[in-house]
Amino acid sequence: MEQDKLIISVSPHIGSEESVPRIMWTVSASLLPALAMGIYYFGPKALVVTALCLIGSLASEWFVQKMAGKEITLSDGSAFLTGILLGMNMPSTVPFYIPIVSAFVAVAITKQLFGGLGYNIFNPALVGRAFALITWTRSMTTWAVPDAAFAAVNAKTTATPLGILKEEGMGKLLEVFGDKLSLYKELIIGHRAGSLGETSMIAILIGAAFLVYRRYISLRIPLSFLATVAVGAWIFGGKGGLFTGDPIVHLFSGGLMLGAFYMATDYVTCPTVRSGQIVFGIGCGFLTILIRLKAGYPEGVMFAILIMNCFAPLIDRSFRTHVFGAKKAKK
Amino acid sequence: METFTLGGIHPPEHKELACNAAIESCKPPQRAVIPLSQHIGAPCKALVEVGQRVVAGQLIGNPEGFVSAPVHASIAGKVTGIEAFPSPMGRMVPCIVIENDKTDEWAVFEEDPGYIERTADELKGRIKAAGIVGMGGATFPTIVKLSPPKEKKIDAVIINGAECEPFLTSDHRVMLESPKEVIEGLKILMKVLGLEKGYIGIEENKKDAIIKMREIASGDRNIEVHSLVTKYPQGAEKMLIKSILNREVPAGGLPMDVGVVVQNVGTAFAIYEACKFGKPLVERVVSVTGSAVVSPKNLSVRIGTSVSQMIEQCGGLKGGAVKVISGGPMMGFAIYDLDTPVTKGTSGIVAMEDKDIVHRTKFNNCIRCGRCVEACPMGLMPLMLSVYSEKGMYADAKDYHLFDCFECGSCTYVCPSKRPIVQQIRLAKTMVKP
């Protein structure tokens, strides 16, 4: 044994097989069922929009890192994940420039200009979407009628269930979908208007269950988020007074499921302390239901998460972990 | 089955490499290099001169100061030098070099079959004279642990048989092959500390050791053998006390602050030998294991034997060996010189191939995934310590309980960005006062 070949480094000498690329690519893969459902219902256009977001994300990451003279980190999968999430948060009907510009805002501005992976304050995909919604409001709120038949060119548009609920009420919603049971059924399967990757509850939950099984995400944020929305919708969501709302419609529509499992759980922009994560989830839920019921937009998940992103560092500071042997966790 | 509440990790154990290898005597070395400092605290003063002949078990280094322990010759022969050699921890330390004269002559020890009847002070005297230190790796002089200040009331003693470090099997083998001696060591500790109750904690991946120890201890109702969940760092003192007695050592405190003394299995064995036979600590069991060792073994080794000689007795290293660790892979030290001697605190030598180790020379930004927070057995936020240290904001790191970290490495093990968190914490600790 030639000992001059021995590696000298500090402990620990071993490590888990988990890595940032593995996490990012696994999360991206877990989104495939939901994306597939989107393509199934909204046609090839959905695929094109997602592809444009992906290309925009990867190109933006490459561009900024090249400009800054930094190492190119496309292979870590984080720009890919942002791209795929951004695509899934867009209507399938948007013109081609919206995905590209939004992806630039998401990856170049929100992430890279703040210091790159790990240093962004806001969820990149959501900032990209918020930018698009505010800039091209009409395009971003024009929803294709879902059609399972791979309708090549489907010019028909409609409102989302939440939009109908907000503008015309529960009665109209039931009229459109037939009865309550078929409304729930269509919502769970994802046969409804909406952003192309947000509609199928069952597909999203399959992907999320995989992530929970692999311990990539915990249930603390999603469950506290969903529970708060459900309770809020039940208490305040009905037209006939308190406690007459339909929590199921609120849970299964809009971007809530995708947001709760995939956006609010974004490592970089959520708290790391257990109790803080629950507070974060409750905050997201509260703001979502506030916006859905009282603000101008039918959907509030995106703004709720973005607002709570600002609070994540503060929450981490305030809800410190219990330190072993400490009399009381220091605030 | 018991365990601690916060954090912990499950690295691959790899105990199978050596756990079935019965303890084998390692050939006494041609040259023993015996460090004068094999413990936490003041180094010893050499009592011998170059050219002098010594016999095995002879006192050759006398402690200076209370927190210290004497050192003894491990072989018979001529002192050929008193010079600096690398210690397993990497520092150069003064060592007494003895050239073996092959006589294997031992100092004469007085056997005392009635040792258990002796007074606590007499037993303590024997433990002190034998130079016994914590053999789990921390090498804290045992006599200091057994002499708590009056205001600290001790009511429990725990023998640490957790052996939670991956690969290491020396404590496991000692419990299997010398269970009576370990229990006797525990009884001596109970006597010295004036205790009714004694505990042994063993991780449940060593079921045979648990069964064996329970069998031997079954006659004594005051000794409890606890089966612990296999979870790293179960063998850390604070975790072990939490698991067995559900007491939390206060931040910045010692086990004695909650009335507990913890001693390693190997230490208990050495205590027994010191009290019954008057034998000083001059040999110990060392696991020589790892994927890069040809035939992993547990060796009974004279202190001062070189790492290379032990490896040789285990068939040598495989071609792919890239790292040799003194201790376990979670908290051990990578050694740079295979002439490094075994000391009282060397529980294992682990040789690894490249596929087993993680390189953290190039690391990524923290993505705040929180895995380190989940893994930390002390309930700290390693990510904050890591980032503050990286940015040179050491005072802010202190605010996040920097000094409560005992460097178990769990955070670093789980970090997907491969950040050298423990090393960043060590750096921060040197930059601010506690």
pLDDT at B197 exceeding the cut of 60: yes
Give B252's contacts in chain A (Cβ within 8 Å).
Answer: 325
pLDDT category at A2 given cuts 50, 70, 90 is low
First to last CA, chain B: 36
Residue B56 has pLDDT above 60, yes or no: yes
- Determine whether the interchain pair A1/B418 forms a contact, defined as Cβ–Cβ distance below 8 Å: no
> In this complex, do B336 and A8 lie within 8 Å of one another by their Cβ atoms?
yes
**Neighboring chain A residues of B323 at a CB cutoff of 8 Å:** 6-7, 9, 13
The better pLDDT of the pair A320, B57 is held by B57
pLDDT, chain B, mean: 94
Q: Which superfamily is assigned to B1-27+109-357 in CATH?
A: NADH-ubiquinone oxidoreductase 51kDa subunit (3.40.50.11540)
Say if residue A317's pLDDT is above 60: yes
Q: How confident is the model at residue B37 (pLDDT cuts 50, 70, 90)?
A: confident
CB contact under 8 A, B329 and A15: no
How near does any CA of chain A get to the CA of B5, in Å?
9
Query: For chain B, where do the domains classified as CATH 3.40.50.11540 start and end?
Result: 1-27+109-357
B311 vs A1: CB contact, 8 Å cut-off? yes
Task: Measure the CA–CA gap between A119 and B85, rounded to whole angstroms.
Answer: 46
> Environment class of residue A156 by beta-carbon count within 10 Å: exposed (0-12), middle (13-18) or buried (19+)?
exposed
Chain A residues interacting with chain B (CB cutoff of 8 angstroms): 1, 3, 5-16, 18-20, 22-23, 76, 115-119, 267-270, 272-274, 316, 320-327
Contact B124, B335 (CB under 8 A): no
Secondary structure element (H or E) that encloses residue B98, with its range: strand B92-100
CB A312 within 8 A of CB A319: no
Q: How far is A244 from chain B (nearest CA, A)?
A: 39
Summarised one tens digit per residue, pLDDT across range A251-306 is 999 999 999 999 999 999 999 999 999 999 999 999 999 999 999 888 999 999 99
Q: What integer is the mean pLDDT of B355-384?
A: 94
Best mutation target, A4, A11, A20, A323, to test chain B (most B CBs within 10 A): A11
A-B contacts at Cβ under 8 angstroms: 172
pLDDT tens across A63-74, in order? Answer: 999 999 999 999
Query: What single-letter amino acid sits at B221?
Result: R
pLDDT score of A154: 53
| pLDDT of B282 strictly over 50 | yes
Closest approach of A254 to chain B, Cα-based (Å): 27
Q: What's the count of helices (H) and strands (E) in chain B, helices before strands?
A: 13, 17
- Average pLDDT for A308-328: 88
**pLDDT score of A330:** 41
The answer on pLDDT for B150 being more than 60 is yes
Q: In the numeric block, which tokens belong to residue A169?
A: 């009420």
pLDDT in tens, B408-425: 999 999 999 999 999 999
| Cα–Cα distance, A211 to A204 (Å, whole number) | 11
Q: Which of A13, A22, A321 lies at the smallest CB-CB distance from B334?
A: A13
User: Of B331, B369, B423, which has the smallest distance from its Cβ to A267's Cβ?
Assistant: B369
Dihedral pair phi/psi, residue B45, rounded to 5°: -100, 135
pTM (global) more than 0.80 = yes
Name which of B13, B240, B365 to mutate to probe chain A: the one with the most chain A Cβ atoms within 10 A of its Cβ: B365
B299 three-state secondary structure: strand
Kindly indicate whether the ipTM for this predicted assembly is greater than 0.90, answering yes or no. Answer: yes
Counting residues of chain A whose pLDDT is more than 70, the rounded percentage is 95
The pLDDT of residue A148 is: 59
How long, in residues, is chain A?
Answer: 331
B219-231 confidence digits (pLDDT tens): 888 999 999 999 9
* Residue A155 CB neighbours (<10 A): 8
Average pLDDT on B29-45 reads 90
pLDDT at A331: 38
